[in-house]
Structure 1
Amino acid sequence: MKSYTFTAACLIALASLAVSGATHAQSTAQVNVTGRITSGCSVNSSGVTIPLGNVSAGALPSIGDHSPTSPTQNITITCPADPTGIVMKMTGKSVNGRLDVLELTNAGGSGVANGVGVQLIYDNKPLVLNSDVAIPIAARQIPIAAHYIRLGTLSPGTADTTATLNFTFN
């Protein structure tokens, strides 16, 4: 969400007063002001889960082959009025510099599959890490899907991953 965060600190000096010849000590108090100004648009889901289920190694016979793409899961956007632009950007951990493939959680660890990564799909194309993707202004449902992609010699195991989709509203 496009937002601006600001913090301001003010020092307030208390003036010394002389009353009936008495001297008063001077001191200060710090006031911190925090807040956020937002565009008014928001993403209604904190996350989605895309189940890929069990996929046989035989379904990925060659490097570059991918499993069937999952059904889409929708990320819902709410805006009080149409923004002038919506941009989505994926962040996460890539596999060997392949910015379109997400590394598996705990990759290289015991019980984790090898030779495979995950691609998130939007508009029938893999998302690329840290790249802006323009979303149609009228869109209120952002369909995201996923599939496995073979990268090397396969070994069985869990094949989970995570990514973050950041939305900017203008």
Structure 2
Amino acid sequence: MKMKHTFFHCALLAGLMVTGSASAQDTAHINFVGTINGPTCSLSTSNITIPLGAVNKSVFTAVGSPSPWGPNVALVSAGCNASLVSMTFTGAANSSNPNLFAVTGGAAGVGIQLQQSNTSGGAGGGQAIPNDTTNPVTFAPAAAGAGYSFTARYVQSDATITTGPANATITVLITYT
């Protein structure tokens, strides 16, 4: 009888141990999220300077009269597979003519007019570039090594012109789609 009780207790203890280690199951999900892109769009030049030179005050004869165009300069593309390139140009606006960019450095009475260079490579004749974040200028994508060309000139904005340095910095936001 003692053996039966010992066996019974061992069996009962073993049963309790098995019950305490019963396994549980749960389900989880792993989500994969990503995008397959083409080559990254970029420029091989990111800062350009358009030298406007020393312009004699006598060139300006009335409000709206311009100086000669500066040379064509380009933001050079490193290439990409975008279907459209949009650019917005922003800078401080000339206080008398918001279509012109304000100059800094001492000169007054003039602003800077920025323009896309024409397709024949000559200065002027291209699309005027607005100082406006809401009206982007669109371009066909340029192949690697090709560029987006621009030129600029001073335009008289006030009846009186003050001589001195006439510089400006313009920010270009480029969107590739």
TM surpasses 0.5: yes
Q: Please say if 1:126 is aligned against 2:128.
A: yes
Which 5+ residue runs of structure 2 have no aligned equivalent?
Answer: 1-36, 118-125
Q: Judging changes above 3 Å, is the alpha-carbon distance between structure 1 residues 38 and 132 closer, same or farther for their aligned structure 2 residues? A: farther
Aligned length: 128
| Aligned pairs (5 A) from 1:1-170 | 40-80=40-80, 82-96=81-95, 98-106=97-105, 112-123=106-117, 124-129=126-131, 130=133, 131-138=135-142, 140-152=146-158, 153-170=160-177
Match in the other structure for 1:5: none
Unaligned runs of 5+ in 1: 1-36, 107-111
Matched AA of 1:125? Q
> Cα RMSD over matched residues?
2.0
Give % identity.
Answer: 27
TM-score, with normalisation over the residues of structure 2?
0.66
| Cα shift at 1:38 | 9.2
The 3-state SS of whatever aligns with 2:98 is strand
From the CA coordinates, give the structure whose radius of gyration is larger.
2
- The residue identity in structure 1 corresponding to 2:42 is S
Change (3 A) 1:101 1:39: farther
Structure 1 runs of 4+ with >6 Å offset:
none
- Contact (CA 8 Å) 1:39, 1:169: kept in 2 or not? no
* Displacement of 1:61: 0.8
Structure 1 residues 128 and 39: alpha-carbon distance in aligned structure 2, compared to 1, 3 A threshold: farther
Quote the offset at 1:105 in angstroms. Answer: 2.0
Q: Take 2:39 and 2:137, find their aligned partners in 1: how far apart are those partners?
A: 19
Please tell me whether the aligned partners of residues 79 and 142 of structure 2 are also in contact (alpha carbons under 8 angstroms).
no
Cα displacement string for residues 129-170 of structure 1 (whole angstroms, at most 9, x for unaligned residues):
222011013463100111000011111111011101111001
In 2: Cα distance, 1:138 partner to 1:47 partner: 17
Q: Which residue of 2 aligns with 1:34?
A: none
Q: Report the TM-score, using the length of structure 1 for normalisation.
A: 0.69
After superposition, give the CA deviation of every residue in 1:21-62 in whole Å (9 maximum; x if it has no partner): xxxxxxxxxxxxxxxx99610021121011111101111111
By percentage of residues, which structure has more helix?
2
